[in-house]
Structure 1
Amino acid sequence: MSLKKILIVRFSAMGDVALLVPAVKSLTAAHPDVEVTVVTRPKFAPFFYDLERVITFPADIDYTYTGIFGMRDLFRALVKKGDYDLFIDMHSNIRTVILRTLFKMFGTRVIVFDKGRKEKKAWARKDNKITRPLIHTVERYRRAFEKAGFPFTLLNPPYFSLNDSLYAAASDWLTQKKLQKNERWIGIAPFAMHVSKIWPVENYAEVIRNILERTDAKFFMFGGGEKEVRFFESLQKQFPDKIVIAAGVLKLRQEMALMQQLDLMLSVDSSNMHLATLAGIPVLSIWGGTHPDVGFGPFKKGADSVMQISRDELPCRPCSVYGRETCPVGGFPCQTRITAAMVAQRILGRLNN
């Protein structure tokens, strides 16, 4: 059987790249004659490890492949790897426009996915918003494959392919921490790239306290960076036997293996929300300046996976598609009106269902 070779390009952001996984995994499951090469940033390549007939090409576009000439060099490097029957641009920015133009010039068929820029801008503009729910990003990816002649039905989670060594590494780490699952395990991922996505971090101690008053639990902290770890350490001082810091300790795929053991992940609109969702565990995500109906909500999850102030109460929402650093009305009421008691009550309700 001759394999049809598809080249996919998606450089960033982390959540957008992770959301490619359900589409790619579903594609290869439905089409055994297809081989996929995913070109992405090196730090995102592990999302696609161990997927059947999926090859990764880590492209360092910050140092190795920069600018126009960098895209030329990347094109040459990819061509040396083999012949491709199809190039799918799953990013559609200036870099990928250059790259797809080069492939098209040399005879490779090119498909560009529909990013939905116009509809998304209509959601986020200040006046006369058009807030019709948009299709999910994963569905946009699926439609690009369908447009190329490869229809399929999206599989159900979990989507990541994790080998036994990853589960063993996560298990060994838990053993070293002397952790056994005899209570609820709740993940917390409180940070995101933009301020308008971050629920006030001072609320988390109250959430933890409220939950511990009603059930026994341990809380696993996910994130990265010195500032985030310092915050987690401050929580650990308040709840020394209840806080477990995974941030900065485990590698990405080991964290994903750990996530699959959680009873629930509490997060904001962030890549960790997507990772937990794709890992197939329950999620409660808090939304402020962005909105899940723009196409980035927890994939295949219901309304009980989202907490947000309604647009009837705050018609300024969302003020941005991807997040911003300032609040157009002042004070981020989309975040502050969601209280710790509300979040704790929702978590307890989810755990008890």
Structure 2
Amino acid sequence: MQPPQHILVIRLSAMGDVAMLIPVVYAFAKANPETKITFLSKPFFKSIVDALPNVHFLAAETTSQHKGIVGIWKLSRQLKKQGITHVADMHHVLRSKMLRLFLGLPSAIIDKGRAEKKALTTPKNKVFKPLKTTIQRYVEVFEKLGFSEIIPQTLPRPDVIEEVHQLIRKTTHQLIGIAPFAAHQGKQYPLDLMKEVIQKLEQQSEIHLFLFGAPNEKEPLQTLAEGCKNTTVVAGMLKFPQEINMIAQLDVMLSMDSGNGHLAAMFGIPTVSLWGVTHPYAGFAPFQQENHCLLSDRTKYPAVPTSIYGNKVPEGYEEVMRTITPKMIVTKLMSLL
């Protein structure tokens, strides 16, 4: 295989998976400044990739011009004009397979470890052991292309931008971010207990809380913040690029097994993550934050993890996250400040 001169890195979704790839591509780009990198992902994730120096972002418009087989073929023609020489497929889904076929270039593909993950999540004859991390799997793709000694690195924290400065300028307190929502209920901490966490943190001195979520989650976040003088709801106030800058200014982040935790971790922010029916053994813990994962009680709920994505909640497992107490969370957060 000829040495790569211009690598196409493919990772179309999801937010957490894209964020976990950033420390790997950052380290690769620093170690190989002569190699061009084009990062292909969905348009919304451009703000994440923009944190990388010397990496070109290309949007995969999978709902419009790049939709379907014809759209992927058009995308391949667009990429060929840019002089791509090799492909690092960090996603390995139907779209990326078609794109590799149309490009006809030397490629390396991520090993998702599907059989191992199935053994980890099966209810019977479960093989409960830690698997390779997703970040390790990303590194292996570059190794297959002939590169070695890639040591993933956190990004330097960016300077605070004006929109974020307006939010934090009134406080000299330490800043804790809280992202209480997740894509699936199986990995979302009960909101009544999260309210208790916020109230307990409010009783601590010199702390200000910022609650993160999508614009449509603003109302339940405001309910969580009711009566709290040192808590600000960020949802709906900032655009996504500004929100990333805000996360990078935090002292600590509290998240579920979800994207916001990975956004914080890519900047080296101490990140406490809460795990329900999923488990860090599947390899999705935030980068360098494995020691800050708070786990549901497997003695009481031995089928955990029940799925990789948190979308499978067996009967009787609806309250699994209540085994993580507010006191445990507050103690962990305070230990990191």
Aligned residue in 2 for 1:322: 309
- Partner in structure 2 of residue 135 of structure 1: 132
The answer to whether the Cα contact below 8 Å between 2:48 and 2:244 also exists between their aligned partners in 1 is: no
- Match in the other structure for 1:119: 116
Change in CA separation of 1:249 and 1:12 when aligned onto 2, cut-off 3 Å: same
Rounded Cα–Cα distance in structure 2 between residues aligned with 1:331 and 1:51: 40
Instruction: Choose which of 271, 274, 278 in structure 2 pairs with 1:283.
Output: 271
Q: Partner of 1:19: helix, strand, or coil?
A: helix
* Structure 1 range deviating more: 133-142 or 311-320: 311-320
- Residue type of the alignment partner of 1:180: T
Aligned: 1:293 with 2:286: no
Question: Cα RMSD between the aligned structures?
Answer: 1.9
The residue aligned with 1:345 is 331
SS, match of residue 255 in structure 1: helix
- SS of residue matched to 1:202: helix
Alignment of 1:11-160 (within 5 A): 11-49=12-50, 51-80=52-81, 82-104=82-104, 108-157=105-154, 159=155
The residue number in structure 1 matching 2:191 is 201
| Unmatched runs of 5 consecutive residues or more in structure 2 | none
Q: Secondary structure at the match of 1:37?
A: strand
Task: Deviation per CA, 1:43-77: give whole Å up to 9, x if none.
Answer: 01221215232101011112221111221121122
Q: By how many angstroms is 1:345 displaced?
A: 2.5
Identity rate, percent = 35
Alignment of 1:115-264 (within 5 A): 115-157=112-154, 159=155, 162=158, 164=159, 167-175=161-169, 179-181=170-172, 183-226=173-216, 228-239=217-228, 241-264=229-252
Tell me how far apart the structure 1 counterparts of residues 317 and 32 of structure 2 sit (CA, whole Å).
50
Number of aligned residue pairs: 335
Q: Which runs of 4+ in 1 moved over 6 A?
A: none
- What TM-score, normalized by structure 1, do the two folds share? 0.89
Q: 1:70-122, CA deviations, whole angstroms, 9 ceiling, x for partnerless residues?
A: 21121122223x22110111111111111111112xxx211111111111111
Secondary structure of the structure 1 residue equivalent to 2:130: coil
CA distance, structure 2, for counterparts of residue 142 and residue 223 of structure 1 = 30
Classify the secondary structure of the residue corresponding to 2:329: helix
